[in-house]
A and B are shown apart, each in its own frame.
Chain A
Amino acid sequence: NAGVTQTPKFRVLKTGQSMTLLCAQDMNHEYMYWYRQDPGMGLRLIHYSVGEGTTAKGEVPDGYNVSRLKKQNFLLGLESAAPSQTSVYFCASRTGTGAYEQYFGPGTRLTVT
């Protein structure tokens, strides 16, 4: 039982390049989330999904897209990376049955130059 895993762990992009971050969970959780963590700002929600085939915007969705084609996977895409997207990205998941704690992946450190 690996919990929540994220691929890749580190990535450096040039401005304008695109990439996809993959999140996978093996806990059969309904809900999945993408956050970014910036110094001094805690974590902020980018997008989330309440089930396979659904997505919704969070607090800071601009510049990102997501997809949830399979229940266990949640993809975060950057179509045209900008230096402001330099951050640590965390994926999280939780069950849909009233226990609201989210379980986090190890994070992806992204640098956009």
Chain B
Amino acid sequence: AQKVTQAQTEISVVEKEDVTLDCVYETRDTTYYLFWYKQPPSGELVFLIRRNSFDEQNEISGRYSWNFQKSTSSFNFTITASQVVDSAVYFCALIERQTGANNLFFGTGTRLTVIP
């Protein structure tokens, strides 16, 4: 069963618009960790945030914010006032404690294009 679903394959927005990237996960473990990574056109993977299953507080970092809701198994990512430099593929990922926390299950990614 797919553990991380990113239903939005591609999104295009005009610069300065807000955009939300959806992530839905599936796990039977009670202890797990969720992540967002950014892959810009240059190809490297950049860690953005980690959230553990016991911490449902939303987090804001500059123009980025994350909404974690266990009730809907979702960990959505919002970019406010998007910029061209935000254009990238964004991956949501999950680690389950019961599997030894070594298999980082990635979603298939959402390609965000910010149009100037």
B-binding residues in A (CB < 8 A) = 31, 33, 40-45, 48, 50, 56, 58-59, 88, 90, 92, 99-107
Contact = CB atoms under 8 A, between A and B. Distances in A.
Contact of B101 (A45, A90, A100, A104): A100
A105 to B, nearest CB: 8
B104 A59 contact: no
Contact of A99 (B37, B50, B103, B104): B50
Nearest to B37: A104
Nearest to B33: A100
Given A33-B102, A56-B102, A104-B45, A41 B95 contact: no
A58 B106 CA distance: 13
A16 B35 CA distance: 37
A31 B102 contact: yes
B102 A42 contact: no
9 contacts: A40-B108, A41-B108, A92-B45, A101-B35, A101-B47, A104-B45, A105-B44, A106-B43, A106-B44
A42 B45 contact: no
A90 B45 contact: yes
Contacts of B35: 101
| Leading 3 A-B pairs by shortest Cβ distance | A42-B106, A104-B45, A43-B106
B76 to A, nearest CB: 17
B43 A103 contact: no
B50 A42 contact: no
A48 B109 CA distance: 22
Interface string B1-40: 0001000000000000000000000000000010101000
A100 B50 CA distance: 8
Contacts of B106: 42-44
Given A43-B91, A100-B33, A101-B50, 13 more contacts: A33-B102, A41-B108, A42-B91, A42-B106, A42-B107, A42-B109, A43-B106, A58-B103, A92-B45, A92-B104, A99-B50, A100-B50, A107-B43
